[in-house]
Amino acid sequence: MANLKVGILTSGGDCSGLNAALRGAAKAIYQKFGEDNVDIIGIHDGYYGLIHNICNRMKPDDFSGILTQGGTILGTRRTPYKQMQIIEDDKIDKVKCMKDTYKKQRFDCILALGGNGTHKTANLLSEEGLNVISLPKTIDNDIWGTDITFGFHTAVDVATDAIDRIHTTATSHSRIMIVEIMGNKAGWLALYSGIAGGADVILIPEIPYKIDKVIEACQHRADKGKPFSIVVVAEGAFDVEEAKLKKKERQKQRELNNETTVTYRIMKEVQKKTGLETRAVIPGHILRGGTPSAYDRILATQFGSYAAQLISQGNYGNAIAKINGKISHNPLSEVAHKTKFVPIDDDHVITAKSIGISFGI
């Protein structure tokens, strides 16, 4: 029987780089402990699989050929943290079931790959006495304590490519194109891809916008003989009036207006005020898919390798991070329940403003 038993899961939204991280962790664990001395157990569909004990022993070959593969070979599923400690109609005590699976499988530790919700649940399990290490994954780049998350770089590349392609049709038809980019709470992805894609306006949740300023920026370009504009909008963006409302109030108001995001509202208002043909484009889940960039393959591999190092040290209850260019870690208790927002004085915001990009303010 192996001396070490490691459970590994991917939770929350998928993104490019998850398989690269699984591979990096597995190869480093096998290398450090020896293939005959360790069992890696794949937990399917995230915490749902841990709750329901949906696990299988993996072989070294299972981690071959997946470096460039998007998605996750373990499958993923959203099990919201808010529901973790609530017993619902199915009468399942989720925390108890996860602890029971941990004991039944005789895990020495669990590696949890995911975003903010994943880290919250990882911290909960750590507080319950389980050995847990988390790896930061999200295209939103909004996990506190790490310079960057794997999946973000690839999503920036994909979003930028989408904006590049939209640029050509916007130019050809003299249209204003409103491009909605994922980012419900934080605007990192819209900010980076907007700058890289040559956007004229970037709207992010951290900087509530004024619609008149957005219209003014588009009209100014038209007056200068450029009757096309690219407006990049993070899906979580909101205007200065909505900023006065609480989140639930804002959601209720949008439901009454049959809106999920501000994108189509901006499109209608811009077209009405400028008289210029305006279209909305939503790349959506395309941003999550496909082959990870070389950067994300390396970063995910580094995170996976560092996880093996923490396991060898028995150093649990931590979230792996990249801090000031070096792979390191933070206590899960410090990472959970925090979000890394774009500071309004962030270097990228300052750079964007310096070249004339409007933030609608």
Contact 229, 217 (CB under 8 A): yes
Quickly tell me which residue has 């959970």 as its tokens.
336
Q: Is 343 exposed, middle or buried (0-12, 13-18, 19+ CB in 10 A)?
A: exposed
Contact 12, 46 (CB under 8 A): yes
Dihedral angle of Cα 70, 74, 80, 86, to the nearest 10 degrees: 180
Is residue 346 among the annotated active site residues? no
Query: What stretch of H or E contains 101?
Result: helix 94-105
Tokens of 258: 């049959």
Q: Give the CA diameter of the chain.
A: 75
Tokens of 78: 């959203």
Which of these is catalytic: 39, 140, 142, 157?
140
Quickly tell me which residue has 């157990």 as its tokens.
41
Phi, psi of 139 (to 5 degrees): -75, -15
Contact 341, 62 (CB under 8 A): no
> Among all residues, which ones are annotated catalytic?
140
